[in-house]
């Protein structure tokens, strides 16, 4: 689906004590989410962080795999990272999508926590297929999830991923792969 985009968020996250925090950028998240996004045909992948140092680190990692030794060593990484954009805040990603598609994206929140009015993956897939000209951006939180303020910005709120047990604490990269599979397959 060319109208699906992903954003990995680090600001306005919740920690274990329910404080609003900024989480650290994890390089494996960047790699794995880019690879899942490429596999499932995501149009753009945004990595969002307010820290100039961590954005520079993400840019350095991306550049390593896009040129020189990294490109020659593993061309698949280059292919996966081609559509990765490093941005300072979510509004920067929204502006990029608005310019690219000519309309503001619909924001899709995800959360492992129960609560709120949720939409199923099946309903989300149908909605996106029925409206291929509207961009959608899947918001991925880090830490212990997105703040209520960030969740309130979403147009849609996906159902939590449920397994056969009551345990539900997936890494963001694993959750992303599962959500993309459920929306895109």
User: Which residue is associated with the tokens 């040129």?
Assistant: 67
Confidence of residue 159 (pLDDT cuts 50, 70, 90): very high
Contacts of 125 (CB under 8 A, 6+ apart): 182, 183, 184
Please give the span between the terminal C-alpha atoms of the chain, in angstroms, as a whole number. Answer: 10
Report whether pLDDT(116) > 80. Answer: no
Distances (CA, A) of 4 to 18, 44, 145, 166: 30, 8, 21, 30
The predicted model scores a pTM of: 0.94
Q: How many domains does the chain have?
A: 1
Instruction: Report the distance separating Cα 180 and Cα 40, nearest Å.
Output: 6
pLDDT at residue 169, as a whole number: 84
What CATH number is attached to the domain comprising 62? 3.40.1280.10
Report whether pLDDT(1) > 70. Answer: no
- Which domain does 107 fall in, by range? 4-184
């Amino acid at each position: 689906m060319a109208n699906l985009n992903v954003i990995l968020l680090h600001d306005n996250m919740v920690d274990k004590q329910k404080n609003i925090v900024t989480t650290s950028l994890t390089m494996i998240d960047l790699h794995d989410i880019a690879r899942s996004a490429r596999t499932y045909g995501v149009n753009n992948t945004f990595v969002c962080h307010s820290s100039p140092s961590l954005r520079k680190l993400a840019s350095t990692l991306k550049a390593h795999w896009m040129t020189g030794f990294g490109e020659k060593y593993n061309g698949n990484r280059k292919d996966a990272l081609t559509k990765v954009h490093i941005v300072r805040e979510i509004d920067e990603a929204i502006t990029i999508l608005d310019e690219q598609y000519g309309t503001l994206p619909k924001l899709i929140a995800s959360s492992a926590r129960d609560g709120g009015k949720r939409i199923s993956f099946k309903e989300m897939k149908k909605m996106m297929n029925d409206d291929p000209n509207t961009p959608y951006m899947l918001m991925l939180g880090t830490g212990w999830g997105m703040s209520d303020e960030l969740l309130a910005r979403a147009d849609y709120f996906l159902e939590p991923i449920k397994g056969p047990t009551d345990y539900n604490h997936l890494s963001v990269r694993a959750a992303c792969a599962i959500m993309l599979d459920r929306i895109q397959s």
